[in-house]
Amino acid sequence: MSKKLAFIGGGNMAEALIAGLLREHTLTPAELLVCEKSPERRAYLENQYRIETAAENARGPQQASTLFLAVKPKVLAEIQEEIRGALTPDHLVISILAGISRERLAEALGHPERMVRVMPNLPAQVGRGVSAITFPATLPESGREWVRTIFRSVGEVVEVEESLQDAVTAVSGSGPGYIFYLAQVFIDAAVREGLSRPVARRLVTETLAGAAEVLRRKEDSPEELVRKVATPGGTTEAGLAVLLENDLAGTFQTLVARAAQRSRELGRPLPPAGEKV
Ligand X SMILES: NC(=O)c1ccc[n+]([C@@H]2O[C@H](COP(=O)([O-])OP(=O)(O)OC[C@H]3O[C@@H](n4cnc5c(N)ncnc54)[C@H](OP(=O)(O)O)[C@@H]3O)[C@@H](O)[C@H]2O)c1
Q: Which residues bind ligand X (CB under 6 A)?
A: 8-14, 35-38, 41, 57, 70-73, 75, 78-79, 96-98, 119-122, 173
Closer of 26 and 38 to ligand X (Cβ): 38
Closer of 5 and 8 to ligand X (Cβ): 8
Question: Least distance (Å) from ligand X to the CB of residue 250?
Answer: 27
Alpha carbon distance 123, 20 (integer Å): 12
User: Left (φ > 0), alpha (ψ -120 to 50) or beta: where does 25 sit?
Assistant: left
Cβ pair 83, 64 in contact under 8 A: no
Closer of 119 and 204 to ligand X (Cβ): 119
Alpha carbon distance 205, 117 (integer Å): 32
Question: Least distance (Å) from ligand X to the CB of residue 177?
Answer: 9
Closer of 131 and 135 to ligand X (Cβ): 131
Question: Least distance (Å) from ligand X to the CB of residue 36?
Answer: 5
Question: Least distance (Å) from ligand X to the CB of residue 60?
Answer: 9
Question: Least distance (Å) from ligand X to the CB of residue 242?
Answer: 31
Closer of 75 and 191 to ligand X (Cβ): 75
Q: Which residue is nearest to ligand X (CB)?
A: 11
Sheet (strand 52-54) strand order? 52-54, 32-35, 3-8, 64-69, 92-95, 115-119, 129-134, 155-159
Q: Phi, psi (5° rounding) for residue 65?
A: -85, -25
Residue 274: how many CB atoms within 10 A of its CB? 5
Question: Least distance (Å) from ligand X to the CB of residue 83?
Answer: 9
* Sign of torsion over alpha carbons 169, 162, 97, 20: positive
Closer of 4 and 125 to ligand X (Cβ): 125
Closer of 23 and 74 to ligand X (Cβ): 74
Cβ pair 130, 156 in contact under 8 A: yes
Question: Least distance (Å) from ligand X to the CB of residue 99?
Answer: 7
Task: Compute CA 108 distance to the chain's CA centroid, rounded to the nearest angstrom.
Answer: 22
Alpha carbon distance 95, 171 (integer Å): 19
Q: Phi, psi (5° rounding) for residue 177?
A: -65, -40
